[in-house]
């Protein structure tokens, strides 16, 4: 038995931390839409992410349990259907109170220019998040924006390869990926060039990595709309994540549970 496995077994044997369930219900709209089995898996995965990642507050912020649980639970949504290693390459998560400055250019000590960001994923490095954006995305998916899902989608992309060269462990899925992703990306660029309104927006057209991250946001937050407007893309991501988030939202609607 590996050391990590043993540590996790000991972690799961402990009582679930008091107050975490309230945090999940208050801050994670998706949590209220999951069934009991899905909630159990998400709680356990989030618990590991909280315990095993290094959490660092930036810009004067002290990272609280609420912040850790809120962020970890959103990242754990992406793992519900997949075989995974708890984002093993992400060793640390840095949290700012709000948007932070990202240096751009080849020389990061003397960047050519800077931009404000609410999230950043560093390959072989940390995920950096703005707490206000992470909280807003967790509480209300209706905007289609979720910075936690966006940045952790980048980490998945770093792990498995570029958008047109995925190594997914499933030859049929890989072939569909090579057909659907580049075609959808090219179609988005054409639509934007013609001034058309799109579901995915300008950020998804920046490059292939941004396209995957933005489409992952849409998949988890606006699945009905994504399937209606981009059915091939939706079904590809449903197979990639091994999830059907449409079922969550329909379950919530029929049960009177709506994201706040």
Tens digit of each residue's pLDDT (9 = 90 or more) over 222-260: 999 999 999 999 999 999 999 999 999 998 765 544 433
Is there a domain that residue 259 lies in? no
Distances (CA, A) of 254 to 33, 217, 243, 250, 251: 10, 23, 19, 6, 5
In the chain, the N- to C-terminal Cα span, in Å, equals 42
- Which three-class secondary structure string do you get for 105-158? CCCCCCCCEEEEECEEECCCCCEEEEHHHHHHHHHCHHHCCCHHHHHHHHHHHH
Tens digit of each residue's pLDDT (9 = 90 or more) over 128-169: 999 999 999 999 999 999 999 999 999 999 887 655 555 677
| Mean per-residue pLDDT of the chain | 90
Least confidently predicted of 72-76, 83-87, 110-114, 245-249: 110-114
Q: How many structural domains are present in the chain?
A: 1
Nearest to 215 by CA among 249, 196, 240: 240
Nearest to 134 by CA among 88, 103, 102, 98: 98
* CATH assignment at residue 218: 1.10.472.150
Is there a domain that residue 34 lies in? yes
Cα(226)–Cα(204) distance, integer angstroms: 14
pTM of the model: 0.90
Is there a domain that residue 260 lies in? no
Is there a domain that residue 176 lies in? yes
Is there a domain that residue 11 lies in? yes
- Note the pLDDT of residue 256: 42
Residues 6+ apart with CB under 8 A from 147: 118, 119, 129, 130, 133, 134, 137
Distances (CA, A) of 89 to 84, 159, 168: 11, 8, 17
Is there a domain that residue 95 lies in? yes
Is there a domain that residue 101 lies in? yes
**Which structural domain range is residue 182 located in?**
3-254
Distances (CA, A) of 120 to 1, 31, 142: 35, 24, 22
Mean pLDDT of 18-35: 97
């Amino acid at each position: 038995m590996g050391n990590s496995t043993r540590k996790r077994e000991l972690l799961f044997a402990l009582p679930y931390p008091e107050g975490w369930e309230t945090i999940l219900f208050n801050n994670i709209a998706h949590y209220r839409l999951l069934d009991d089995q899905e909630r159990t898996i998400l709680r356990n995965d989030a618990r590991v992410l909280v315990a095993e990642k290094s959490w660092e507050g930036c810009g004067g912020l002290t990272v609280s349990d609420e912040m850790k649980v809120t962020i970890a639970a959103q990242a754990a949504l992406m793992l519900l259907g997949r075989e995974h290693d708890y984002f093993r390459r992400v060793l640390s998560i840095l949290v700012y109170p709000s948007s932070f400055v990202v240096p751009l250019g080849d020389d990061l000590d003397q960047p050519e220019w800077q931009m404000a960001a609410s999230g950043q994923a560093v390959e072989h490095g940390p995920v950096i998040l703005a707490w206000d954006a992470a909280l807003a995305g967790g509480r209300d998916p209706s905007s289609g924006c979720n910075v936690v899902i966006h940045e952790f989608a980048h980490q998945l992309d770093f792990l498995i390869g570029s958008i047109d060269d995925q190594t997914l462990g499933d030859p049929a899925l890989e072939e569909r990926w090579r057909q659907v992703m580049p075609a959808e990306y090219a179609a988005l660029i054409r639509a934007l060039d013609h001034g058309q309104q799109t579901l995915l927006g300008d950020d998804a057209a920046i490059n292939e990595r941004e396209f995957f991250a933005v489409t992952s946001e849409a998949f988890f937050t606006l699945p009905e709309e994504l399937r209606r407007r981009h059915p091939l893309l939706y079904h590809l991501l449903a197979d990639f994540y091994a999830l059907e988030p449409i079922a969550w939202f329909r379950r919530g609607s029929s049960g009177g549970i709506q994201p706040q």
